[in-house]
Amino acid sequence: MLHTEQELNKLRQIRLNESWKISLTEFLLSPKMDQLREFLLAEKTAEKTIYPPNALIFNAFNTTPLEQVKVVILGQDPYHGPNQAQGLSFSVQKGLALPPSLRNIFHELHTDLGIPVFKNGDLSKWAQQGVLLLNSVLTVEAGQPTSHQKQGWEDFTDTVIDVLNEQRENIVFILWGAYAQRKGQRINQNKHLVLKAAHPSPLAANRGGFFGCKPFSKSNNYLKQHGIEPIDWQLDA
C-alpha cells in the first residue's frame, strides 16, 4: 500500500521498532491514533507529568521485536510513581523498591522454578529474550492510576494482540486477573497457549488463584514442546 508523504512523515516520528511499525501501520495512521496523540499533547501542554518518559513509551516493542515474541505478560497500565515506569509491564527501574505485585511474581517464580527472590525489579532481561511485557495502556499521569484509560491505548494494544494472534504461532499468553483475561478473549487457543490466573496484586493473590499457578515452568515446557528456546527467568541480583 502506497502512503502519502504526510503519512510517511507521521510514521517516521513514531519511535517504534520497524517490525511492529509495519504490522501496525493501519492503526498508526488511523483517526484513533490521531486522537490519542492529541490527548497526550494536550496533557503535556497542561504541564502534567506523564510516565513513562517519551523515549520509553514503546520500550516493550523496541526491546522485543515482533518476530522474537515467545511469551506475552499482559499488564494494565504503567506505574504512576517517580522513576518507576519503564515501558515494560510489572517492571521497575533497577534500584527501586519492588512494587507488591512484582514481589508476589518473584515469590511465585521461586516456588515454581526454585530461583531466588530478586531485589532487582528490572525485567529487561526477560524482554530481551522474547517476553513481551505489554501493558494495555502505555502512559499514565503521575500519581493518578488509570488516568489514561479509554483514550485509545486499549485499541492500540488490542491491535497488537490481533497481530500476534494472526501472524505468529505457539506464543504463550500469561493473563493475570479479570482485566487481562477479558482482553485476551480474542486469542486463538488452537494456535497459542493461554495461561490464566488471579492477579499478583496482594488483594487478589491472597484470595487464592495466583500462588501455585506455575506460569514460568508451564511457559518453558510449552516452548520446548514446539522446538522453541525456553526463557531463562533468572535476573541479575
Task: Output the CA torsion 165→170→174→175 (10° steps).
Answer: 40
CA atoms within 13 A on the CB side of 174: 26
Distance CA(61)–CA(19), nearest Å, equals: 9
Query: CB atoms < 10 A from the CB of 20, how many?
Result: 22
Asked about 77 being catalytic, the answer comes back as yes
Cell numbers of 5, please?
508523504
Distance CA(75)–CA(164), nearest Å, equals: 16
Distance CA(225)–CA(169), nearest Å, equals: 13
- Is residue 26 within 8 A of residue 71, CB to CB? The reply is no
Point out the catalytic residue in the list 77, 155, 158, 232. Answer: 77
Nearest Cα to Cα of residue 59 among 121, 113, 98, 16: 16
Amino acid identity, residue 22? I
Question: To which residue does cell 522513576 refer?
Answer: 83
Helix intervals (H) in the chain = 5-12, 18-23, 25-28, 31-45, 59-63, 100-113, 124-128, 153-167, 177-183, 202-205, 215-225
The residues annotated with a catalytic role in the active site are 77
